[in-house]
């Protein structure tokens, strides 16, 4: 399926080079994390920034003026965004595109944010920001207002962490050229830092560093604040390190396969998940003749599944690379039209066959339903689904666009009912404990809220319980659960 994660972020300091090319390539390597808008900000004796809607464009096209405004400066941040807070109309998308500039009476900053704030309404009221805007504006205003009260960046970030429920990895620049980056006390969202030849860089994924030739150092720790001022980096534990709760969905879907966490590349974890899935469901595999996968995030899992099961792997489902629209952007007929055009099925490879279809997850079911319909039309005899991510039964409060129970097909139907609804012969999930094992992390080091209904932050957990209670009484959800 097509799922959207809130954002990708990047920040860099260089002692002697213009940094815009690093920002550009660092974000281009992470454009999968946000298609709706992009933007850049630098410090060059003052803060400069610009944002645009859509994917990051080429720097130069033959016979055309570049759409990229190359900002000057040796300190900068950048962002790509999907909407999980604020409005979705054209004006809202333009206004909420990041980085954003926040100005106070005596302080100002630019901010790039990945995550989602659960108590956003409380925060907006506290800082006097309109409820029609995204949570990023309220976060930035809170930092500026706290800085104006005490002047200390570590104290401002500590205050933010004490008053915010949610997930956040953030890079920013103060109006004196201070570059900073920090992560929430549960470490839900990814962010690493690198260092090479005097350059410090921060990135949602390690690929943002690798494309720029910057050596990866480590992931930021939960509650950690890193500050780069005048070429020197300092570290502050702005909030005591709570139990880490890293987003489990990063391994199955969001992160690039060549990104790495906890000393392992994501593709290695996905391949291990595929192998574990094959071991778990050997009885169903006996009915299958070939294995195929839904490109592209399931390719590595399908390879591991093929290795473990011994089934022939047919690359019989091919993605039309330049059909860039995501299925979640449109509704109804348009959504189905996009889903249909994204995939090319090599009919002779599957006609009359019993097939194992490996995919990363099932959220709403729209994409899977459409793809199974096409596989049936192409002549597949039996279709058995093997899903690496456990059954999604709860919304995400932390920046993935699945924010209500009602939209989650797994929250409404049993596994057997899912198979009927999707027209599959069987649906086979990875159990939660086995998924956790293959990530290399412990259960208490992961956010598993969407597959267990147990959330790592207090307000999100309480909100989820209250919504489930209301739904059990016949109540309904109205929009995003946290708004």
Q: Supply the CATH number for residue 375's domain.
A: 3.40.50.2020
Would residue 358 count as lying in a domain? yes
The torsion angles phi and psi of 274, rounded to 5 degrees, stand at -65, -40
Claim to verify: residue 292 and residue 398 sit in the same structural domain = yes
Would residue 254 count as lying in a domain? no
Q: How many CA atoms lie within 13 A of 289 on its CB side?
A: 10
Q: Which of 7, 247, 288, 293 is catalytic?
A: 7
Claim to verify: residue 138 and residue 210 sit in the same structural domain = yes
Look at residues 181, 207, 242 and tell me which one is the last residue of a structural domain: 242
Mean pLDDT, the chain, integer: 91
Q: Which two tokens stand for residue 229?
A: 């001022």
Asked if the model's pLDDT at residue 482 lies above 90, the reply is: no
**Number of domains observed in the structure of the chain:** 2
Claim to verify: residue 220 and residue 283 sit in the same structural domain = no
Residue 288 falls in the annotated catalytic set: no
Would residue 255 count as lying in a domain? no
Claim to verify: residue 424 and residue 286 sit in the same structural domain = yes
For 366-399, what is each residue's pLDDT tens digit?
A: 989 999 999 999 999 999 999 999 999 999 999 8
* Helix H or strand E segment including 274: helix 266-280
Would residue 479 count as lying in a domain? no
Radius of gyration of the chain measured on its C-alpha atoms: 22
For 329-347, what is each residue's pLDDT tens digit?
A: 444 455 566 667 778 899 9
Range of the domain at 213: 7-242
Beta strands in 44-165 (DSSP E): 47-53, 75-81, 100-103, 108-117
Asked if the model's pLDDT at residue 88 lies above 90, the reply is: no
For 258-298, what is each residue's pLDDT tens digit?
A: 999 988 999 999 999 999 999 999 999 999 999 999 888 89
Claim to verify: residue 310 and residue 193 sit in the same structural domain = no
Cα dihedral 83→220→188→225 (10° resolution) = -70
Claim to verify: residue 288 and residue 221 sit in the same structural domain = no
For 151-185, what is each residue's pLDDT tens digit?
A: 899 999 999 999 999 999 999 999 999 999 999 99
Would residue 258 count as lying in a domain? no
Claim to verify: residue 15 and residue 95 sit in the same structural domain = yes
Claim to verify: residue 211 and residue 277 sit in the same structural domain = no
Place of tokens 């969001």: 254
Q: How many CA atoms lie within 13 A of 51 on its CB side?
A: 24
Comparing 54-63, 95-104, 397-406, the range with the smallest average pLDDT is 54-63
CATH of the domain at 154: 3.60.20.10
Claim to verify: residue 102 and residue 233 sit in the same structural domain = yes
Would residue 43 count as lying in a domain? yes
For 208-262, what is each residue's pLDDT tens digit?
A: 999 999 999 999 999 999 999 999 999 999 998 878 999 999 999 999 999 999 8
Q: Which residues pair with 219 in a beta bridge?
A: 192
Claim to verify: residue 36 and residue 114 sit in the same structural domain = yes
Would residue 333 count as lying in a domain? yes
Contacts of 149 (CB under 8 A, 6+ apart): none
Would residue 110 count as lying in a domain? yes
Under DSSP, the state recorded for 307 is H
Claim to verify: residue 390 and residue 463 sit in the same structural domain = yes
């Amino acid at each position: 399926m097509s799922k959207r994660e809130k954002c990708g972020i990047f920040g860099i300091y260089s002692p002697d080079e213009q940094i815009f090319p690093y920002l550009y390539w660092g974000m281009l390597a992470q454009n999968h994390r946000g298609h709706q808008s992009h933007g850049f900000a630098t410090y060059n004796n003052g803060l400069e920034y610009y944002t645009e809607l859509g994917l990051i464009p080429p720097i130069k096209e033959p016979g055309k003026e570049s759409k990229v405004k190359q900002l000057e400066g040796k300190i900068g941040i950048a962002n790509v965004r999907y909407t999980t807070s604020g409005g979705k109309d054209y004006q809202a998308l333009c206004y909420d595109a990041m980085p954003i500039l926040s100005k106070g009476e005596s302080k100002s900053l630019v901010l790039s944010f990945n995550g989602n704030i659960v108590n956003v309404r409380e925060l907006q009221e506290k800082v006097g920001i309109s409820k029609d805007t995204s949570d990023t504006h309220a976060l930035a205003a809170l930092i500026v207002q706290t800085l104006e009260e005490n002047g200390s960046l570590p104290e401002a970030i500590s205050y933010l962490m004490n008053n915010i429920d949610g997930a956040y990895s953030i890079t920013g620049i103060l109006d004196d050229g201070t570059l900073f980056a920090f992560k929430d006390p549960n470490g839900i969202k990814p962010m690493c830092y690198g260092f090479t030849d005097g350059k410090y860089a921060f990135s949602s994924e390690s690929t943002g560093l690798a494309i720029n030739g910057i050596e990866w150092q480590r992931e930021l720790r939960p509650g950690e604040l890193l500050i780069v001022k005048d070429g020197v980096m300092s570290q502050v534990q702005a909030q005591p390190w709570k139990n880490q709760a890293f987003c489990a969905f990063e391994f199955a879907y969001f992160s690039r396969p060549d990104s790495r966490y906890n000393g392992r590349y994501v593709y290695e974890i996905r391949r291990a998940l595929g192998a574990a899935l094959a071991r778990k469901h050997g009885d169903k595999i006996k009915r299958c003749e070939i294995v195929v996968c839904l490109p592209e995030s399931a390719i590595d899992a399908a390879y591991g599944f093929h290795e473990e099961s011994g089934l022939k792997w047919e690359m019989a489902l091919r993605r039309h690379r330049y059909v860039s629209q995501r299925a979640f952007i449109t509704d109804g007929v348009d959504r189905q039209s996009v889903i249909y055009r994204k995939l090319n099925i090599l009919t002779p490879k599957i006609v009359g066959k019993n097939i194992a279809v490996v995919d990363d997850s099932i959220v709403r079911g729209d994409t899977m339903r459409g793809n199974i319909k096409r596989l049936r039309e192409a002549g597949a005899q039996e279709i058995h689904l093997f899903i690496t991510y456990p059954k999604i039964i709860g919304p995400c409060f932390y920046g993935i666009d699945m924010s209500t129970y009602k939209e989650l097909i797994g929250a409404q139907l049993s596994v057997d009912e899912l198979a009927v609804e999707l027209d599959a012969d069987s649906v086979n999930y990875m159990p939660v404990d086995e998924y956790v094992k293959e990530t290399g992390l412990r259960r208490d080091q992961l956010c598993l809220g969407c597959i267990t209904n147990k959330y790592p932050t207090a307000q999100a957990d309480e909100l989820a319980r209250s919504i489930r209670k209301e739904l059990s009484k016949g109540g309904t959800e109205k929009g995003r659960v946290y708004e």
